[in-house]
Structure 1
Amino acid sequence: MSIPVAFEIAKQKPPNIERATRLRCRADCGHLRGKGAQWRGELPTRETLLPHKSTPCLLSLSGTPIPPMVVLILEKVPATLRGELSRWMIEPRTGVFVGQISAMVRDRLWELAVKGAKGGGITLLWSSPTEQGFQWRTFGDSKRLLIDFEGLTLVHIAQGPAEKRSQGAEAKQRQEQEALEAGD
């Protein structure tokens, strides 16, 4: 939100651009003050936060890049791997890690997770200026598969054992019925 505002304010050439931008952002979005404060005005939209598709990441008010949000989901992996990842990211739920880390750190943590997975499944998602706002990678065995369908990410849930058993029972009943009909 602050980038487009900063450009608008820069055209006006105020004596202190940073202060003018900060005040304008507070006026447009509201500013949180203390516990229980609420936003005033409209929340920023994705279009105002990422004005150009080529923007690799957001910039702070000082112009430094803000790393993208990263989510790493682990299934059936050793506890030692989870402990190693907890040094870099928070684990709000078992096997789900969240953080804001650079692309280099993200890639190195991915390599670490792949080496330590030992038959488990790994899904990595990170914010990116794409149509859906994120990109992803998967490794190993997982119940949920991410599938790219013409640029749109879809989730396919693999059949569980109970579903396979019920389908097997239905197939067996069909075979028995066909055998009875063939015998008549």
Structure 2
Amino acid sequence: MLVVIANDLPPAVRGRMKLWFVEPRPNVFVSGVKDSVAKQVVQYLYEHCPEESGLMIFRRLPDTPGYEIRGLGDHNRQITEISGLQLVIEKQIEFL
């Protein structure tokens, strides 16, 4: 499975993504492609998307923890790793 969230995609890339993915919301793409195809799609995105695209990619892995999170450019969320587990920080709370 592959989930791609973007701030903004080039029209050619977005059109191509619609061939492989369901787009439940604008610039949110979900697909159940095989792992080998998912690697090719991620490579395609990294080659054809500028930094302004703000990609966040969630890819299923056969190993623990079962997924990988990758980002490209300035996305709205921060990716962090705690004890080998990748997490997305939604909102940071500052303590006084």
What's the TM-score bracket when you normalise by the shorter of the two chains? 0.7 to 0.9
User: 1:145–1:158: 8 Å Cα contact kept in structure 2?
Assistant: no
Q: Any runs of at least 4 consecutive aligned residues in structure 1 with deviations exceeding 6 A, and if so which? A: none
By percentage of residues, which structure has more strand? 2
User: Does residue 116 in structure 1 map to residue 48 in structure 2?
Assistant: yes
Identity %: 29
User: 1:114–1:122: 8 Å Cα contact kept in structure 2?
Assistant: no
User: Does residue 155 in structure 1 map to residue 75 in structure 2?
Assistant: no
SS of the equivalent of 2:64 reads coil
Give how far 1:157 is off.
Answer: 5.0
Give how far 1:156 is off.
Answer: 3.0
- Which residue of the other structure, out of 13, 34, 49, is the alignment partner of 1:81? 13
Gapped regions of structure 1 (runs ≥ 5): 1-68, 160-184
**Within 1, Cα distance between the matches of 2:90 and 2:9?**
20
Higher relative contact order (CA 8 A, sep 6+): 2
Please, what TM-score do these two structures have when normalized by structure 1? 0.44
For 1:9-158, what aligned pairs fall within 5 Å after superposition?
69-118=1-50, 119-128=52-61, 129-131=63-65, 133-156=66-89
User: 2:35–2:60: 8 Å Cα contact kept in structure 1?
Assistant: no
- Matched residue type, 1:147: T
State the aligned residue count: 90
Q: Between Structure 1 and Structure 2, whose CA radius of gyration is higher? A: 1
**Within 1, Cα distance between the matches of 2:87 and 2:20?**
28
Gapped regions of structure 2 (runs ≥ 5): none
User: In angstroms, what is the RMSD of aligned CA positions?
Assistant: 2.0
**Within 2, Cα distance between the matches of 1:98 and 1:157?**
20
Please, what TM-score do these two structures have when normalized by structure 2? 0.77
By percentage of residues, which structure has more helix? 1
Give how far 1:154 is off.
Answer: 2.5
SS of the equivalent of 1:86 reads helix
**Within 2, Cα distance between the matches of 1:136 and 1:156?**
12
